[in-house]
Amino acid sequence: MGLFEKRRARKFFIYVQDYEDNDLKSHEGLDLTKVTAREVILKYGLEDDTIDFIGHALALHLDDSYLDQPALDFVTRMKLYAESLARFQRGSPYIYPLHGLAELPQSFACLSAVFGGTYMLNKPECKVEFDESGKAIGVTSEGETAKCKKVVCDPSYLPNKASSIKQF
């Protein structure tokens, strides 16, 4: 990225950072529910390589179709990236396993414990308990029940409750 492109990208990042839905001054005359991401990007004159990086690495769009959709989702995703980066301060807000995929559940278990959660791993015959309204209230394994407000599990534990929404 050359010197002039860095300057244009910086102006764009400042626009995204300052954008607030309820503050019309921050919109700079753009209605992000109506203009496309391509139109917003063109306003700042960004080069194709910069657009690819921002759209795919920061906003996590899988293809270029986002360019022809309303820009609000694009800007919201970029704001989320910036807020996550500021929160985690480790160079990237994304989890990337350095020593295999087993790091992901290990990290989740650690973070869960920090916030008072319980992580059940390799428990035989787990059964999710429900109240009268069908809401999950606990998990029973080996005669012990862990009470909870939410259950995150593989769909195989809840074949009657889980359904396939979208496969990638």
Domain ranges of the chain: 3-88, 103-157
* Cα(85)–Cα(90) distance, integer angstroms: 8
pTM over 0.75: no
- The CATH architecture assigned to 3-88 reads Orthogonal Bundle (1.10)
* Nearest Cα to Cα of residue 74 among 46, 48, 39, 45: 39
Percent of the chain with pLDDT over 70: 96
| C-beta neighbour count of 25 within 10 angstroms | 7
Give the tens place of pLDDT for each residue, 12-63: 999 899 888 888 788 887 888 899 999 999 999 999 999 999 999 888 899 9
What mean pLDDT comes out for the span 102-128?
81
